[in-house]
Amino acid sequence: MKLSNFINGEWQEGEATYTAVLNPANGEQLAEVRMSTKEDVDTAVKAAVNAQKKWALVPAPKRADYLYEIGRLMKERKEHLAQVLTKEMGKVIEEGRGEVQEGIDMAFYMAGEGRRLFGETTPSELADKFAMSVRAPIGVVGLITPWNFPVAIATWKSFPAIVAGNAFIWKPATETPMMAYEMAKIFQEVGLPPGVANVVFGSGSEVGTAMIEHEDVKVISFTGSTDTGSKVAELGGKHLKKVSLEMGGKNAVIVMEDADLNLAVEGILWSAFGTAGQRCTACSRVIVHKDVKKELETMLLERMEKLTIGDGMDESVKVGPVINKNALEKIHSYVQIGKEEGANLVVGGEILDNGDLAKGNYYAPTLFSNVKPDMRIAQEEIFGPVVSLIEVDSLEEAIEVNNGVKFGLSSSIFSRDVNKIFRAQRDLDTGIVYVNAGTTGAEIHLPFGGTKGTGNGHRDSGVAALDVYTEWKSIYIDYSGKLQRAQIDTE
């Protein structure tokens, strides 16, 4: 199967270079994807500019009707979409289904915004004058997404963009184009006006750069690593783009001495090894009170040894492959760094290549203990199934360790003490805080994003996402029949 771009409601034809899409579970080729050029981006932007002018005039509740249809089709095809997702990305099928569900939820939630998109009305300081603010669409927006959530993140961005009256160009990650292809088919089937939704496949350096540099793309919404995000911001700044960035994390679970340890272990396993540790919200540090450190370590080890590893299409598997060989090497190099830094490797720390596992990219769930907060394995994003135990003496120290990294996406605390919990939720410097749950599990109607090196102040998801895709317009209507001057004619 050859995946080509979806531009102006059609599948782009013509000569192009294609690259293979591989299944990370077994190395099989699933498809070939077009590696587009700057000219392809120009074609897509031109179509989007034309379409957006008319789209902005369609009443928002009518724009929302397309989202209801998109949600309905996604629901009808949920199992098929989940299987495509698991094959191209590797996450276990249960999580694949969960991610598709997130997209469905987002479709219905944002469709509801078609009848809200609330602005404000407020009294004027002058008599016989009316004042209000409304959300106005911005134009053509560029969406750049990572491979670890091939569909959910795109729905967080594209659905608010279109309900607000924008057109979009979506560049998915090269590793995971198949979900974008499936979504483009849905956009076509629901009859979205040609040019409102466009998918352009290809590399970040060629397609991503062309989108950022294009004068008719007014907003860039990016999710990916902090290194890439910083380049996107730099180039976007030069071209005066509105740039929304969602980037890396180094998320921690805090386990206090009064915690329900069984519950904490469940939360850690799910957050650290789900999606093979490749969630932006993955738990990669466990900050544990010294009184329960030994017990927690033993309990974790016992449960980690029972985790089933393999192809995510097998319903019994809990930990799937990582995305590619480069990721395997990166994870393994961090394990070497951890050992050299003097951390204690409790379990794991190896590339798995027995039998069928040799065909895919599998890394053993790995636990380090005696990790110090300033070690590189406790500071840098590893993005694999590797977790570090850091011992602390108090809640204050736990919060300091949690906050002592350059990222600020998600954090969690396990405790039964309401005073500790309230202090922690106030002082943890992350965009998302969980109490008595792991570091993952965001719901789509709340803002999603992080502080410090994780973001630049914008949010995906929730009603906050609308701020990325709209401009505030303030409107004053004077019905006094005379010239009234604000701040001057106030007597």
- The residues that are catalytic are 246
Near ligand NAD by CB under 6 A: residue from 232, 254, 401, 432: 232
**Residue of this chain nearest to ligand NAD (CB atom):** 204
Near ligand NAD by CB under 6 A: residue from 6, 55, 66, 147: 147
Near ligand NAD by CB under 6 A: residue from 12, 145, 244, 470: 145
User: Does the protein bind ligand NAD through residue 21 (CB under 6 A)?
Assistant: no
Name the amino acid, one letter, at 333: S
- Closer residue to ligand NAD (CB): 50 or 226: 226
Question: Nearest approach, Cβ of 204 to ligand NAD (angstroms)?
Answer: 2
User: Does the protein bind ligand NAD through residue 474 (CB under 6 A)?
Assistant: no
- Closer residue to ligand NAD (CB): 395 or 433: 433
Phi, psi of 179 (to 5 degrees): -70, -35
CA 339/CA 368 separation, integer angstroms: 9
Question: Nearest approach, Cβ of 442 to ligand NAD (angstroms)?
Answer: 9
User: Does the protein bind ligand NAD through residue 248 (CB under 6 A)?
Assistant: yes
Note whether 196 and 161 are within 8 A (CB): no
Residues 436-455 that bind ligand NAD (CB under 6 A): 450, 454
Residues 70-129 that bind ligand NAD (CB under 6 A): none
The site that binds ligand NAD (CB under 6 A) totals a number of residues, namely 31
Question: Nearest approach, Cβ of 259 to ligand NAD (angstroms)?
Answer: 26
Question: Nearest approach, Cβ of 331 to ligand NAD (angstroms)?
Answer: 13
* Residue 22 C-alpha from the chain's centroid: 22
Question: Nearest approach, Cβ of 232 to ligand NAD (angstroms)?
Answer: 5
Residues 167-186 that bind ligand NAD (CB under 6 A): 171, 173-174
Give the binding range for ligand NAD (CB under 6 A) out of 78-86, 133-141, 203-211, 480-488.
Answer: 203-211
Exposure pattern of 406-417 as b/e (b: 16+ CB <10 Å)? Answer: ebbbbbbbbbee
Note whether 163 and 192 are within 8 A (CB): no
Question: Nearest approach, Cβ of 455 to ligand NAD (angstroms)?
Answer: 7
Note whether 433 and 421 are within 8 A (CB): no
Residue at token pair 């927690």: 296
Question: Nearest approach, Cβ of 405 to ligand NAD (angstroms)?
Answer: 13
Residues 335-394 that bind ligand NAD (CB under 6 A): 381, 383
User: Does the protein bind ligand NAD through residue 224 (CB under 6 A)?
Assistant: yes
- Closer residue to ligand NAD (CB): 264 or 328: 328
User: Does the protein bind ligand NAD through residue 231 (CB under 6 A)?
Assistant: yes
Near ligand NAD by CB under 6 A: residue from 89, 186, 280, 398: 280
User: Does the protein bind ligand NAD through residue 40 (CB under 6 A)?
Assistant: no
- Closer residue to ligand NAD (CB): 142 or 365: 142
Question: Nearest approach, Cβ of 201 to ligand NAD (angstroms)?
Answer: 10
- Closer residue to ligand NAD (CB): 114 or 150: 150
User: Does the protein bind ligand NAD through residue 146 (CB under 6 A)?
Assistant: yes
Note whether 66 and 192 are within 8 A (CB): yes
Residues in contact with ligand NAD by CB under 6 A are 144-149, 153, 171, 173-174, 203-205, 208-209, 223-225, 228, 231-232, 246-249, 280, 381, 383, 409, 450, 454
